[in-house]
């Protein structure tokens, strides 16, 4: 998705689920990146004892794309977002999110530059992520889904489109396009191991094809999700993406996730059932972005559908130097994390 946000960190109040979490030592995995992954990690880290972010590695737009093109490094942007979400150091979080708004570094975040420097210094992207984790004092760990240099591709009818930044805002000729990574990547074994050992696996909201699909199509991920004993929960998007997911309901998103993974793996689909305020909806509608439709329940699907008010009451403003479009309607970190834990203990 290539998005960032500084979501307010909410500390959990006393709940039976929280007490049980601390006692049982819950292991959680969050799959995704960008704003959606940031929000889920920010909330869930207050409930799970062990948390791992599994992150897409196909981003090639904005600051990340420029660093990939000029320095030949792996994409740092979504990794940075997840590191910041899991950090226990507010000042260092702000530093990693700082984005230059002038000069030769305009548009670059400090965190992207820092991760790039560590990769060049160590010659190992995962080592750079590990060192950044120490500096940020993160609670948990961040694992790239692959360390291969890959390009996201889709086949949209007769047209083939390469590169995530070309796909991200494209209007598809056909719904449900074919999607793959080139070259065919090898999955990071530590990411697959985390999925296998997790008690909760959360598919974060995010761009369906460029954020989530780029993880699910990595060979071995679908099988790992299918075989994993943990409860697999998808938190559905709040709005649709014009030209790609028009008219989608939470079940349409979930069906696409399973199609791309090649496995029926979901146990629960969480969706928002509370409408944003009218002024905000009007602003989104002007761009063709409409709230995700309420789902029609179907006995043919194995997963459980649950709706709740998951909306955040605050909205993130775009910072100086940030060239990318950001979402205004967001999930509330703590409300969503609480609902995830409720589903786990149900």
What pLDDT does residue 7 have?
Answer: 36
Nearest partner of 267 among 252, 254, 248, 250, judged by Cα: 254
Distance between CA atoms of residues 252 and 250, nearest Å: 5
**DSSP letter assigned to residue 311:** B
**Residue pair 209/179 in contact by the 8 Å Cβ criterion:** yes
> What is the count of structural domains for the chain?
1
Identify whether 134 is preceded by a cis peptide bond (ω within 30 of 0). no
What pLDDT does residue 20 have?
Answer: 45
pLDDT averages per 10-residue partition of the chain, 346 residues: 38 45 76 93 95 97 96 97 95 94 96 98 97 94 98 93 94 91 98 98 96 97 98 96 93 97 98 82 70 81 94 64 56 96 94
What pLDDT does residue 276 have?
Answer: 75
The residue segments making up the domain with residue 204 are: 16-345
Could you tell me if residue 272 is inside a domain? yes
Could you tell me if residue 5 is inside a domain? no
Distance between CA atoms of residues 247 and 69, nearest Å: 36
Could you tell me if residue 224 is inside a domain? yes
Could you tell me if residue 214 is inside a domain? yes
Could you tell me if residue 310 is inside a domain? yes
Per-residue CA distances from 3 to 127, 282, 322 (Å): 24, 22, 10
Could you tell me if residue 327 is inside a domain? yes
**DSSP letter assigned to residue 5:** -
What pLDDT does residue 316 have?
Answer: 53
Listing DSSP states for 11-56 in one string gives: -----HHHHHHHHHT-EEEEE--HHHHHHHHHHHTTT-SEEEEEE-
Could you tell me if residue 11 is inside a domain? no
What pLDDT does residue 322 have?
Answer: 46
**Residue pair 290/335 in contact by the 8 Å Cβ criterion:** no
Instruction: Find the CATH number of the domain harbouring 180.
Output: 3.40.50.10680
Could you tell me if residue 9 is inside a domain? no
């Amino acid at each position: 998705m290539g998005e960032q946000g500084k979501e307010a960190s909410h500390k959990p109040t006393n709940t039976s689920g929280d007490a049980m979490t601390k006692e049982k030592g819950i292991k959680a995995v969050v799959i995704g990146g960008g704003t959606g992954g940031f929000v889920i990690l920010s909330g869930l880290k207050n409930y799970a004892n062990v948390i791992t972010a599994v992150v897409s590695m196909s981003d090639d737009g904005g600051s990340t794309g420029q660093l990939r093109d000029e320095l030949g490094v792996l994409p740092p942007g979504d990794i940075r977002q997840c590191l910041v979400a899991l950090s226990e150091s507010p000042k260092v979080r702000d530093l990693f999110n700082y984005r230059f708004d002038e000069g030769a570094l305009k548009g670059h975040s400090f965190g992207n530059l820092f991760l790039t420097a560590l990769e060049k210094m160590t010659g190992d992207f995962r080592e750079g992520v590990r060192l950044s984790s120490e500096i940020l004092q993160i609670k948990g760990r961040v694992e790239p889904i692959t360390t291969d240099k890959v390009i996201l591709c889709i086949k949209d009818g007769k047209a083939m489109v390469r590169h995530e930044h070309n796909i991200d805002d494209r209007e598809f000729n056909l719904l449900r396009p074919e999607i793959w990574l080139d070259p065919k990547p090898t999955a990071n074994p530590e990411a697959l191991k985390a999925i296998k050992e997790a008690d909760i696996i959360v598919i974060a909201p995010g761009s369906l094809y460029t954020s989530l699909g780029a993880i699910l199509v990595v060979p071995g991920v679908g099988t790992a999700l299918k075989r994993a004993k943990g409860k697999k929960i998808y938190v559905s998007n709040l709005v649709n993406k014009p030209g790609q997911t028009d008219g989608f309901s939470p079940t349409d998103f979930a069906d696409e996730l399973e199609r791309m993974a090649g496995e029926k793996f979901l146990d629960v689909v969480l969706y928002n059932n509370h409408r944003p305020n009218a002024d905000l909806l009007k602003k989104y509608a002007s761009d063709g972005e409409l709230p995700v439709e309420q789902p029609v329940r179907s006995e043919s699907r194995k997963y459980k559908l649950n709706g709740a008010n998951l909306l955040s009451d605050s909205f993130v403003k775009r910072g100086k130097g940030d060239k990318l479009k950001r979402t205004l309607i967001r999930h509330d970190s703590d409300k969503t994390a609480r609902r995830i834990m409720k589903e786990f203990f149900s």
